[in-house]
């Protein structure tokens, strides 16, 4: 009886070990394929954004598909473009909370999870969270590289390209001359004219005015980086330094203001004048 029981235990242990030995590789394969599927799904999710605001005439241009109206919460993928009409605007939000806001009469496209943006015409606001990698904005005249920053960018191909850094900093260069870069810091603006061969220096602007008047800020929910932008405005106020005040709404800056901001003068700063208006 004792021998039989021992034999039974031995056979049972051998059988269980055999099953375990056969099952372990299968479990490993299941885990491997499962992990791979999760990674693929995660990567796929990162390559799309969602439409988080639509006002009036906003159209999506998806590769090989005719333009169509955009809808709230609609998914947009890499390679897509957004076209807004008059008095219209839109917002896209990506998985890592990168946010792109598009002003009126604008055409822009994106890829690389919303990190590489091309502005054909019009104005955008781009907020990239800190620690989530860099982004690049490109127009025919000006290209900008940023990391963990909030900026506004406007392209009027026949008139100018404009960068406003709201918090953080960025590097800018002429699209045709990528080897010559300059730094643009929070509270500064850079304007480049078509055909420019050299970058002008950035000018200090009134960030508080921008926060109060720019449609890409005031007509949307508060940005996660709003406190950082307010801190920039407060530091400007404490410094007491004179600021150039271009009456900025980044979706409609008049040619007179552009001329004033790019004039060659010994001191590029100007104090705000009276008769300010919102464009």
Contact yes or no for 69/58 (Cβ under 8 A): yes
* pLDDT given at position 134: 84
pLDDT tens readout for residues 92-117: 998 888 999 999 999 999 886 667 89
* DSSP 8-state secondary structure symbol assigned to residue 158: T
Same domain? For 31 and 114 the reply is no
Same domain? For 122 and 99 the reply is yes
Torsion of the alpha carbons at 191, 165, 168 and 226, rounded to the nearest 10 = 180
Same domain? For 122 and 254 the reply is yes
pLDDT at 32 > cutoff 90: no
Domain membership flag for residue 92? yes
* pLDDT given at position 114: 64
pLDDT tens readout for residues 224-253: 999 999 999 999 999 887 776 655 545 444
pLDDT at 9 > cutoff 60: no
Domain membership flag for residue 134? yes
Same domain? For 21 and 108 the reply is no
Same domain? For 220 and 256 the reply is yes
Q: What is the mean pLDDT of the chain?
A: 77
Domain membership flag for residue 275? no
The residue among 46, 61, 80 that closes a domain is 46
Domain membership flag for residue 9? yes
Q: What is the pTM of this model?
A: 0.74
pLDDT at 182 > cutoff 60: yes
**Distance of alpha carbon 230 from alpha carbon 153, whole angstroms:** 19
Same domain? For 165 and 179 the reply is yes
Nearest Cα to Cα of residue 212 among 122, 123, 278, 168: 278
**Distance of alpha carbon 184 from alpha carbon 170, whole angstroms:** 5
Measured between alpha carbons, how far is residue 16 from residues 10, 13, 150 in Å?
Answer: 10, 5, 60
What domain count does the chain have? 2
Higher pLDDT, 162 or 34: 162
pLDDT at 167 > cutoff 80: yes
* pLDDT given at position 186: 95
Same domain? For 38 and 55 the reply is no
Domain membership flag for residue 169? yes
Higher pLDDT, 120 or 273: 120
Same domain? For 34 and 69 the reply is no
What share of the chain has pLDDT > 90, as a percent? 47
Same domain? For 218 and 258 the reply is yes
Nearest Cα to Cα of residue 98 among 110, 83, 114, 74: 114
Same domain? For 80 and 5 the reply is no
Give the DSSP H or E segment for 32.
helix 2-46
* Domain range enclosing 122: 49-262
pLDDT at 128 > cutoff 70: yes
Write the CATH number for 208. Answer: 2.60.120.1440
Give the DSSP H or E segment for 189.
strand 188-192
Domain membership flag for residue 269? no
- How large is the average pLDDT for residues 215-219? 91
Domain membership flag for residue 95? yes
* pLDDT given at position 116: 85
* pLDDT given at position 78: 84
Same domain? For 161 and 31 the reply is no
- How large is the average pLDDT for residues 249-275? 40
Domain membership flag for residue 194? yes
- How large is the average pLDDT for residues 10-34? 49
pLDDT at 83 > cutoff 90: yes
Same domain? For 147 and 211 the reply is yes
pLDDT tens readout for residues 142-164: 999 998 999 999 999 988 899 99
């Amino acid at each position: 009886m004792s021998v039989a029981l021992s034999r039974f235990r031995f056979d049972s242990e051998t059988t269980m070990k055999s099953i375990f030995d056969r099952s372990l590789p299968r479990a490993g394969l299941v885990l491997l394929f499962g992990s791979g599927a999760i990674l693929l799904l995660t990567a796929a999710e990162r390559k799309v954004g969602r439409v988080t605001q639509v006002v009036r005439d906003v159209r999506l241009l998806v590769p090989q598909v005719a333009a169509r109206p955009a809808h709230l919460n609609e998914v947009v993928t890499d390679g897509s473009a957004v076209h807004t009409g008059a008095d219209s605007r839109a917002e896209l939000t990506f998985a890592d909370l990168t946010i792109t806001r598009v002003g009126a009469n604008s055409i822009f496209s994106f890829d690389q999870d919303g990190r590489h943006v091309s502005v054909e015409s019009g104005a955008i606001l781009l907020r990239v969270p800190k620690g989530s990698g860099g982004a690049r904005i490109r127009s025919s005249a000006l290209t900008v590289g940023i990391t963990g920053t909030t900026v506004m960018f406007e392209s009027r191909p026949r008139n100018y390209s404009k960068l406003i850094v709201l918090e953080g900093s960025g590097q800018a260069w002429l699209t045709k001359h990528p080897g010559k870069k300059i730094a643009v810091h929070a509270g500064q603006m850079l304007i480049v004219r078509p055909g420019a061969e050299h970058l002008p220096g950035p000018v200090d602007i009134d960030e508080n005015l921008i926060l109060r008047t720019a449609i890409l800020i005031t007509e949307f929910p508060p940005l996660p980086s709003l406190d950082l932008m307010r801190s920039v405005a407060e530091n400007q106020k404490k410094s007491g330094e004179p600021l150039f005040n271009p009456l900025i709404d980044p979706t409609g800056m008049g040619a007179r203001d552009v001329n004033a901001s790019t004039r060659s003068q010994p001191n590029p700063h100007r104090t705000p004048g009276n008769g300010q208006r919102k464009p």
